[in-house]
A = this chain, B = another copy of it.
């Protein structure tokens, strides 16, 4: 277990189309000292993609060097490209006392829980039902029907894992769901375990 108790981690999971990015924008309005975890990849940047915003783009050699140095929370090779979550920026943000936000799948959630001994609050976000998810995915018109099919298949599997999370947000009403997520993000910062007990007690008594 890698231990860093100063900052805290907020994990969001849920199918594409559940409204995660929209809800996250509301969190960013309320919180300024957060770090949103970005994946590292060896694939080439697509048009418009920026290093440090969309991904950390690195060479295959750098990536493999980092694998050797236990530099990844997790990684995978997809086709001929690596994708992974680098530990360094996460540990840096935690040391700075930031709220580290992950948008990851149920497997990623499990890995973070297992490998990081930090304060973790996790939220599973979902649409009220599968049909609404299908509607949202088809109406936003950004994905091919093949990708939509894959997302729906994943969603069906992932919903079974909602009870491994701390909170469930059923995103039926955007305003309410945003209020819930902002509350969770704020409250994650006052988890009793985050405070230095000796310091709190000695400050309190003197």
Contact = CB atoms under 8 A, between A and B. Distances in A.
Contact of A183 (B164, B186, B201): B186
Contacts of A203: 129
A156 interface: yes
Copies in the complex: 2
B205 A130 contact: yes
Query: By CB atoms of chain B within 10 A, which of A124, A130, A167 has the most?
Result: A167
A199 B200 CA distance: 44
A201 B167 contact: no
Contact of A180 (B124, B187, B193): B187
B129 A162 contact: no
Given A159-B204, A201-B159, A192 B180 contact: no
A56 to B, nearest CB: 31
Q: What's the dominant secondary structure at chain A's contact region?
A: helix
A166 B183 contact: no
In which size bucket is the chain A interface?
20 to 34
A30 to B, nearest CB: 11
A195 interface: yes
Given A204-B126, A205-B156, A166 B192 contact: yes
B126 A163 contact: no
Interface string A140-170: 0000000000000000100110111111110
Interface string A40-53: 00000000000000
A183 B187 contact: yes
Given A180-B187, A183-B186, A192 B204 contact: no
A192 B126 contact: no
A78 interface: no
